[in-house]
Amino acid sequence: MKAKRLAAEKAAEKIKSGMVVGLGSGSTANWAIKKIGEMVKEGLQIEALASSVKSESLAKEYNIPLRSFEGLESIDIAIDGADEIDKNRNLIKGGGGSLLREKIIDFNSKLFYVIADESKLVNTLGKFPLPIEIIPFGHELTLKQLQLIGCTPVIRKIDDNPFISDNGNLIADCHFGIIKDPQDLNERLKMIVGVVETGLFSSRFVTSVFVGFENGDVRVF
- Cβ contact 75:20 at 8 Å: yes
Could you tell me the end-to-end alpha-carbon distance of the chain, in angstroms, rounded to an integer? 21
Figure out which of the listed residues 22, 37, 94, 153 binds ligand A5P, where binding follows CB under 6 A. 94
Figure out which of the listed residues 22, 37, 97, 194 binds ligand A5P, where binding follows CB under 6 A. 97
Q: Is 93 in the site for ligand A5P (CB under 6 A)?
A: yes
Q: Is 212 in the site for ligand A5P (CB under 6 A)?
A: no
Q: Is 22 in the site for ligand A5P (CB under 6 A)?
A: no
Q: Is 95 in the site for ligand A5P (CB under 6 A)?
A: yes
To 10 degrees, what angle do helices 27-41 and 53-61 make?
A: 30
Figure out which of the listed residues 22, 37, 81, 126 binds ligand A5P, where binding follows CB under 6 A. 81
Buried b (16+ CB within 10 A) or exposed e, 111-120: bbbbbbbbeb
Q: Is 83 in the site for ligand A5P (CB under 6 A)?
A: yes
Verify whether residue 13 is a known catalytic residue.
no
Query: Distances in Å between the alpha carbon of 135 and those of 23, 169, 194?
Result: 25, 5, 5
Q: Interacting stretch for ligand A5P, rule CB under 6 A, among 57-65, 67-75, 96-104, 183-191?
A: 96-104
Figure out which of the listed residues 23, 40, 82, 170 binds ligand A5P, where binding follows CB under 6 A. 82
- Cβ contact 28:54 at 8 Å: no
Q: Is 122 in the site for ligand A5P (CB under 6 A)?
A: no
Q: Is 114 in the site for ligand A5P (CB under 6 A)?
A: no
CA distance 150 to 5: 36
Residues annotated as catalytic are 102
